[in-house]
Amino acid sequence: MLSREARQFNERQQRSVEYYDTAGRGLGRIEDELKTLNRTLDRHLAMLVAAVEKLVQITAQTTTKGK
């Protein structure tokens, strides 16, 4: 027969396993989706920065030619 501490430890371990098999799995999927969104956002921001830089160059060239 197990001691009370050993039994409690086993129960905590079982709850942990159950959590990661159920709610934890769902949270992992959410985390994966957030990572995907973050990468997509990074790509879009990089494209926007590049477009703004190009517009600044075009504006500078146009302004210089107009003088």
3-44 per-position pLDDT tens digit: 999 999 999 999 988 877 777 778 888 899 999 999 999 999
Q: Specify the pLDDT at position 67.
A: 61
HEC letters along the chain: CCCHHHHHHHHHHHHHHHHHHCHHHHHHHHHHHHHHHHHHHHHHHHHHHHHHHHHHHHHHHHHHHHC
Q: For CA atoms 55, 57, 59, 62, give the dihedral sign.
A: negative
Q: Is the pTM of this model over 0.75?
A: no
Q: Specify the pLDDT at position 64.
A: 84
